Amino acid sequence: MNNKTKKTAKYEALARLVTKNNVYTPYFFLNIAQSSGFVYEITKIMADKAIKHIALFGNEVGISINITEDDLNKGHLADYIKEICLKYKFPIEKITLEILEGITSSGTKNNIKKLKELKDLGLKLALDDFGVEYSNFERISELDIDFIKIDAKYIKNLTKSSKSRKIAKAITDFAHSIDIEVVAEFVDNEETQKIVGSLGIEYSQGYLFSVPNREIESIN
């Protein structure tokens, strides 16, 4: 949610493995997919389904899709996203690719080059779970990040921990100083959302607004 306009800004596409009786999160299958070399195929399916679905709503909102280092190493992600955006007539600049800090920590020239190619297409980049792993400030500058998503462990403790509030504020102030917008993950109650707003964080995401759904129920 855009905390200024109070309207939905984008949706995040989440991967789930669905059987007749159960829904499995990536925790149960991502490591297997990585060891088997199938992560890129999952990303392709995710991108195709997500963009096809969000395109039904026109250009009102964007879509956010997670990518991994395996996706970058394949080298075909830029061409594939261009292809499906043309297929579904969806503006590429409405797509945000979320990357984990681990991708930037290695600092490989190949990673930086591939991410720059994606940026050059008009795609946005978000650094996910910021503050949980490496928090490499130098890489943020090199990668031309558009959004920083503050890790959930800080946001969910905003109402209980002054330290979490100070860390969230420090991250937000740093991001704003270099013209990067901030997303607060794990916002699940009004009290937390009020603090998020007071910190000047541009966007909020969490159960306060919606639980994960197979379909988008509405766009306000």
CA–CA distance from 41 to each of 9, 37, 45, 187, 215 (Å)?
27, 8, 6, 31, 22
Residue 146 CA to residue 107 CA, distance in Å, equals 18
Number of domains, the chain: 1
% of the chain with per-residue pLDDT over 70: 91
Q: What is the pLDDT of residue 106?
A: 53
- 65 located within any domain: yes
- 5 located within any domain: no
Give the model confidence (pLDDT) of 15-49 as tens digits: 999 998 999 999 999 899 989 989 999 999 999 99
Give the model confidence (pLDDT) of 116-137 as tens digits: 899 999 999 999 988 766 555 6
- 92 located within any domain: yes
Report the CATH number that the domain containing residue 127 is assigned in CATH: 3.20.20.450
Residue 105 CA to residue 78 CA, distance in Å, equals 22
Q: Token pair 């930086």 is at which residue?
A: 112
Q: What is the pLDDT of residue 49?
A: 95
pTM passes above 0.75: yes
